[in-house]
Amino acid sequence: MTSETVVLAYSGGLDTSVAVPWLRETHGHEVVTLTVDVGGGVDAGAVQRRALAGGARSAIVVDARAAFVADYIWPALQAGSLYQGQYPLATALARPLIARLLVDAAHETGAGLVAHGCTGKGNDQVRFDVAVAALDPSLRVIAPMRVGMGMTRDEELAYARTRGIDVPSGPSSPFSIDANLWGRSIEAGVLEDPWTAPPAEAFEWTIDPAAAPREAREVTIGFEDGVPVSLDGEALDGVTLVERLNREAGAHGIGRIDHVEDRLIGIKSREIYEAPAAVVLHAAHAALEQLTLSRELLAYKRSVGDRLATLAYDGLWFSELGVALRAFVTHTQRFVSGEVRLRFAAGAAAVTGRRSPHSLYDIGLATYDRGDSFDHASAVGFIAIWGLPVRTQAAARGDGSDGARSLLDELGADRATATPEPVGVTR
Ligand code: ARG
List residues bridging with 177 in a β-sheet.
186
Q: Please tell me which residue in 17, 37, 124, 326 is annotated as part of the active site.
A: 124
How many other CB atoms sit within 10 Å of the CB of residue 317? 26
Lowest mean pLDDT: which of 26-40, 278-292, 301-315, 384-398?
384-398
From the alpha carbon of 177, which atom of ligand 1 is closest? 10
- Running DSSP on this structure, what letter comes out for residue 173? P
**Cα 85 to ligand 1 centroid, rounded to whole Å:** 16
Question: Which CATH number, 3.90.1260.10, 1.10.3720.10, 3.40.50.10470, 3.40.109.10, labels domain 183-293+336-361?
Answer: 3.90.1260.10
- pLDDT over 90 at 188, yes or no: yes
User: What confidence score (pLDDT) does residue 145 get?
Assistant: 95
Which uninterrupted H or E stretch holds 286? helix 276-292
Q: Amino acid letter at 152?
A: T
Long-range pairs for 23-29 at CB < 8 Å and ≥24 separation?
A: 23/115, 23/144, 24/55, 26/148, 28/1, 28/3, 28/4, 29/3, 29/4, 29/5, 29/113
Residue 319 bears catalytic tag: no
Tell me the domain boundaries of the chain.
5-162, 183-293+336-361, 363-393
Told to judge if 129 belongs to the known catalytic residues of this protein, a careful annotator would answer no
Helix (H, G, I), strand (E, B) or coil at 176: strand
- Read off the DSSP letter of residue 72: I
Whether the pLDDT of residue 228 is over 90: the answer is: yes
Give the E-state strand segments of 93-226 in sequence order.
113-115, 140-142, 176-180, 183-187, 217-224
pLDDT of residue 271: 97
Q: For all residues of the chain together, what is the average pLDDT?
A: 94
* Amino acid 418: pLDDT: 85
Q: Which fold has domain 5-162?
A: Rossmann fold (3.40.50)
Contact between 116 and 147 under an 8 Å Cβ cutoff? The reply is no
Indicate if the pLDDT at residue 1 is higher than 50: no
- Give the residue-averaged pLDDT of 142-169: 91
- Choose the weakest-confidence range: 2-16, 146-160, 343-357, 388-402: 388-402
C-alpha to C-alpha distance for 87 and 257, rounded to whole angstroms:
7
**pLDDT for residue 308 is more than 70:** yes
Distance (Å) from CA 91 to ligand 1 centroid: 6
Beta bridge partners, 113, equal 6, 140
Lowest mean pLDDT among 138-152, 224-238, 343-357, 363-377: 363-377
The per-residue pLDDT for 400 is: 62
Contact assessment for residue 101 and residue 36, using Cβ atoms and an 8 Å cutoff? yes
Q: Find out whether 278 and 257 touch, Cβ atoms under 8 Å.
A: no
Answer whether residue 248 shows pLDDT above 80. Answer: yes
CA distance 90 to 123: 13
Contact status, residue 44 vs residue 52, Cβ threshold 8 Å: no
223, 334 contact by CB (below 8 A): no
Nearest to 348 by CA among 224, 206, 226, 168: 206
Residue 71 appears among annotated catalytic residues:
no
Q: Above 60 in pLDDT, residue 49?
A: yes
Nearest Cα residue to atom 4 of ligand 1: 123
Output phi, psi for 398, to 5 deg. 105, -170
Using CA positions, which residue lies closest to atom 1 of ligand 1? Answer: 271
Separation between Cα atoms, residue 104 and residue 35, nearest integer Å:
13
CA distances from 153 to 14, 149, 160 (A): 8, 11, 11
Distance 427 CA to ligand 1 centre (A): 85
Instruction: Give the integer Cα–Cα distance in Å for 342 and 217.
Output: 8
| Residue to probe by mutation, ligand 1, list 97, 124, 259, most atoms within 8 Å of CB | 124
Per-residue model confidence (pLDDT) at position 214: 86
Reported in sequence order, the residue ranges of 50-89 that DSSP labels E, i.e. its strands, are 58-63
Query: How far is Cα 193 from Cα 94, in angstroms, rounded to an integer?
Result: 27
Mean per-residue pLDDT, 205-216: 93
Strands (E), 38-107: 58-63
pTM above 0.75, yes or no: yes
Separation CA 146–CA 89 (nearest Å): 23
Give residue 2's pLDDT. 61
pLDDT at position 426, please? Answer: 58
Cβ < 6 A, ligand 1 pocket: 91-92, 123, 176-178, 185-187, 271
